């Protein structure tokens, strides 16, 4: 086990991504990443302690989610749906 950001982690998750880093991969903001994690749309490793503790994500999970978004984003201008109004 390894200590990372004050939390003991197993070898499989010793290089986690922060919400901001996951957002860079997904092309969305770190706050949107957190909202999706809280909604159960994006799996996360853990939330660090405290009210402002960051969420940590496994790179492979984030990259897989990015591929899902790319495959289902027809009709949307970006992965987060910005600019998609479905109007005329």
The domains of the chain, with CATH numbers, are: 16-69 (1.10.10)
CA distance 24 to 9: 23
Return the residue matching tokens 């957190």.
34
Span 15-73, pLDDT tens digits: 899 999 999 999 999 999 999 999 999 999 999 999 889 999 999 999 999 999 898 86
Instruction: Say if residue 9's pLDDT is above 70.
Output: no
Instruction: Say if residue 76's pLDDT is above 60.
Output: no
Residue 36: exposed, middle, or buried by beta-carbon count in 10 A (0-12, 13-18, 19+)?
Answer: buried
Where do the DSSP E strands lie in 1-88? 2-4, 7-9, 17-18, 46-47, 55-57
DSSP reduced 3-state for 1: coil
């Amino acid at each position: 086990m390894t200590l990372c950001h004050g939390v003991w982690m197993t070898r499989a998750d010793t290089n986690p991504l922060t919400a901001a880093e996951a957002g860079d991969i997904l092309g969305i903001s770190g706050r949107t990443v957190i909202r999706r994690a809280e909604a159960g749309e994006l799996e996360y490793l853990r939330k660090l302690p405290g009210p402002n503790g960051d969420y940590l994500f496994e790179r492979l999970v984030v990259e897989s989610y990015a591929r899902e978004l790319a495959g289902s984003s027809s009709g949307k201008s970006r992965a987060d749906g910005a600019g998609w109004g479905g109007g005329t």
